[in-house]
A = this chain, B = another copy of it.
Amino acid sequence: MSSLTLTALRAIPEVRAGDDLALLIAGALTATGVPAAHGDVLVVAQKIVSKSEGRVVALDGVVPSARAADYARITGKDPRYVELVLRESVRIVRAAPGVLIAEHRLGCVMANAGIDRSNVPGEDCVLLLPEDPDASARALRDGLHAACGAGIGVLVIDSFGRPWRHGVVGTALGVAGLPALVDLRGRPDRQGRALQLTQVALADGLAAAASLLMGEGAEGAPVVHARGVPYPRRESSVRELLRPAAEDLFR
């Protein structure tokens, strides 16, 4: 029998800059009664990673450029906020009233370059993505290995909107200790022919599942423990999931 079990860890206090997230998560695993075992995966909301890394920015100190003022007019968004989106991005993919979709310098295409205004303490403060979410995931993985003695995978995830469909889904921003993409090319189908759809976005699938347990808002659980992920482990990077602009028909 092949089972995947996801458990929300709620016993995580409000995270502050400089907090040791691996220790907080190790404590939450103990409090929840789910000791980490080899092969488990911990899925961590970007927000607490960014908070622990001090990625809060006060809009007060941000001076918008002329380009930011232009996009602020198109989108109806705060020019200081738009300025931060532009600084975090390599290109604007779409701009329309209420909508600003950017290609983040990390390669993810996201609304507002992933800069969040909700659940951020402080008047008029926003939260940027981690500087390098793969590195954040690796550091957490190493810290959890030290704290729990188990070789586990770590995903740093966020909620992404999508073209064509309503609603957000959890999506991977950083990956350590499990394959972001699983390549099934060359495997036969039941009739012995080569498969057509051959790459599975494992990290995004797990992110989407875990995100359902995190919820949003006040009752949220920012970490989800996953056991039974049915693919062999290897080192990886979220870059495996990023389609280069030159190969993309939607940029």
Contacts and interface: CB of A to CB of B under 8 A. Distances in A.
Interface in A82-128: 94, 96, 99, 101, 108-109, 116-121
B201 A181 contact: no
Interface stretch (A66-74, A137-145, A147-155, A182-190): A182-190
Interface string A145-178: 0000000000000010111111111110000000
Given A164-B242, A200-B168, A209-B205, A8 B2 contact: yes
Contact of A3 (B6, B164, B165, B230): B6
Within the oligomer, what is the number of copies of this chain? 2
A221 interface: yes
Interface string A191-220: 101111111111011101101110111101
Given A7-B2, A249-B99, A241 B166 contact: yes
Interface of A: 1-8, 10, 14, 32-34, 94, 96, 99, 101, 108-109, 116-121, 159, 161-171, 180-182, 184, 187-191, 193-202, 204-206, 208-209, 211-213, 215-218, 220-221, 229-231, 240-243, 248-251
